[in-house]
Amino acid sequence: MKISLIFLAVGLAFFSPHYTVAQDTKSPAPKIAVVDLMKVFEAHPETKLATDELTKDREAMRDEFKEKSNSLKEVLQKHQELIRASKREAAAEKLKEANELEKAIATLRTTQQRDLEEKFRRAKAKILAAISKSVQEYNADGKYAVILDSSSKSSNGLPQVIHAPGAEDITDAIIAKVKEAKSE
């Protein structure tokens, strides 16, 4: 009899429908947030500083380019004067000088453009890293399962986030966090 009761208890335990606390409680749906990273980037304190510095560098490069171009123009004018004066050897020397200046200008232009683009890329990466850190700190408690960039465009130019009902827009909170982090 004892053995039958044990089998009955084990059978009921394995074959009867289970009722657990997990079935009774529903977990809330994961929260989604959106942030306009373009707006945050523009509001970041470092953006204006980086933009001003890059503009200053671009103007300095433009001035240097104009100076070299004016030198080339003067050399070419002297070359033409020497040709008119039938001084072929001196004209040939001026032409060599003009060719060297043209090469130097082309190299300068390429180098300056590359340097400016690299400086822009580094400044942008630094600002985006600070923004990313602020977003991570803001969501340190894991309140949001996903945070999407509402300003992002897909490869075909369409918005990445078209419609996100129920998603919380945390753009202003992130801007405040970024400014707070910068002032520390």
| Residue 148 dihedral angles phi and psi, to the nearest 5° | -105, 150
Q: Which helix (H) or strand (E) holds 52?
A: helix 45-84
**What's the whole-model pTM score?**
0.68
Decide: helix, strand or coil at residue 30. coil
CA-CA distance, 174 to 36, in Å (whole number)? 9
Cα Rg of the chain (Å, integer): 34
Query: What are the residue boundaries of the structural domains of the chain, listed by start?
Result: 24-183
pLDDT of residue 1 exceeding 80, the answer is no
Averaged over 144-155, what is the pLDDT? 86
Confidence band for 25, pLDDT divided at 50, 70 and 90: low
CA-CA distance, 131 to 148, in Å (whole number)? 13
Write out 56-105 in H/E/C secondary structure: HHHHHHHHHHHHHHHHHHHHHHHHHHHHHCCCHHHHHHHHHHHHHHHHHH
86 Rama class: left (phi>0) / alpha (psi -120 to 50) / beta: left
pLDDT, one tens digit per residue, over 72-117 is 899 889 888 888 888 888 888 888 988 998 998 888 888 999 999 9
| Distance set, CA 172 to CA 66, 150, 183 (Å) | 44, 13, 17
Q: How far is CA 54 from the centre of its chain?
A: 16
Closest to 43 measured CA to CA, from 166, 162, 184, 182: 182
Q: How far is CA 148 from the centre of its chain?
A: 15
Confidence band for 33, pLDDT divided at 50, 70 and 90: very high
